[in-house]
Amino acid sequence: MGFTGWLVRRFIPQAGQVMDAGIRTKYGYLVAMVSIVGNLLLALTKGFFGLTLNSISLLADAVHTLSDVVTSFVVLWGFKLAALPPDEKHPYGHGRVENVATLIIALLLIGVGIEFGKASVERFFSQEVVEGSLLVAVFLVLSGLFKEWMARFAVSVGKKINSSVLVADALNHRSDAIISILVAGAMIAAMFGYYRTDAVIGLLVSALIIYTGWGLARNAASALIGEKPDPELVEKITATAGSVSGVKGVHKVEVHAYGQENLLVSLHIQVDPTIAVTDSHQIAALVKYCILEKCGALTTVHVEPFSSQ
């Protein structure tokens, strides 16, 4: 895995135990800290060049990169709260805080996009002179490549630990990478006197920021409201319950997610109506145990008599 693998091995002992809440939190912290350090350096450099060259697109890019620093702190906050144990008010844990963190990231992005969209329109009609720079264009291309690496790192870890907030952060990085390439084009155009290109690129950057934010907000809101469970997970739970000796049928499988690590399942099993109540209770207990072991979910089992009709 190269540098990414080295980072994981260096900062996360027992990195393979991704189902462990403590290890999972360490993964989230690592991605957030890489993002904070990298984006802070990039934002300061872009901001300096943007002010020097009077470029609205470069300033928009700088602020967008700086917003990534803020969103990374939101990621840290999300993982910290999501790792809290259940309490009296939250008996199912705090896992959905990750979705709240994702929604906050999305709203921040939309706000940044709207503000720079307005500034870009004003710049287009003001016809202000923008200085171009080949050196800055090269820097922006390199910045875009670095941001793409950050995006892939976040996606890789996000998929590894099944974290929506890290995947959301990765999309944020990727949009910034695309933005940097677009702004590099504006820098080159300005060298040849096409000053309005800067405002046009600034408007495109703003639209991309808003689009990314909207997509993240929609996904986070859907998860908070309660999405339909993954059909593969339902199939796995059904198959696991059905494989237990004494289970004649499985139906009415429902899955409720309280974060990525806290899944609650309820289902109905059918058993031989002639067996003793204690035997049916033992079968239900075994179903619970098997689903916890194979699917990582706590289960409520309802027992019904089996009928061939």
Q: What pLDDT digit, counting tens, does each position of 268-291 carry?
A: 989 988 888 898 999 999 999 898
Per-domain boundaries in the chain: 2-225, 231-305
Strand order in the sheet with 297-305: 249-257, 263-271, 297-305
Per-residue pLDDT tens over the stretch 174-220 = 877 887 888 888 888 888 878 788 788 878 878 887 887 888 788 88
Q: What is the largest CA-CA distance in the chain?
A: 89
Q: What is the mean pLDDT of the chain?
A: 81
pLDDT of residue 100: 80
To the nearest whole percent, how much of the chain has pLDDT over 90?
A: 9
Q: What is the CATH architecture assignment of 2-225?
A: Up-down Bundle (1.20)
Residue 95, pLDDT above cutoff 80: no
pLDDT value of position 21: 64
DSSP the chain: -HHHHHHHHHH-TTTT-TTSHHHHHHHHHHHHHHHHHHHHHHHHHHHHHHHHHT-HHHHHHHHHHHHHHHHHHHHHHHHHHHTSPP-SS-TT-STTHHHHHHHHHHHHHHHHHHHHHHHHHHHHHHT------HHHHHHHHHHHHHHHHHHHHHHHHHHHHT-HHHHHHHHHHHHHHHHHHHHHHHHHHHHTT-THHHHHHHHHHHHHHHHHHHHHHHHHHHHHH-PPPPHHHHHHHHHHHHTSTT--EEEEEEEEESSSS-EEEEEEEEE-TTS-HHHHHHHHHHHHHHHHHHH-EEEEEEEEE----
pLDDT of residue 141: 92
* Stretch among 131-135, 191-195, 226-230, 303-307 having the lowest mean pLDDT: 226-230
Minimum mean pLDDT among 38-52, 123-137, 244-258: which range?
Answer: 123-137
pLDDT digits (tens, 9 = 90+) for 44-88: 998 998 888 888 778 878 887 887 787 788 777 777 776 677 777
* pLDDT level of residue 308 (50, 70, 90 thresholds): low
Query: pLDDT band for position 27 (50/70/90)?
Result: confident
Helices marked H in 226-276 — which ranges?
Answer: 231-242
More confident residue, 104 or 144: 144
Q: Residue 40: which pLDDT band, with cuts at 50, 70 and 90?
A: very high
The domain 231-305 belongs to what CATH superfamily? Cation efflux protein, cytoplasmic domain (3.30.70.1350)
Please check the confidence at residue 91 and state whether its pLDDT lies above 70: no
Is 291 within 8 Å of 237 (Cβ atoms)?
A: yes
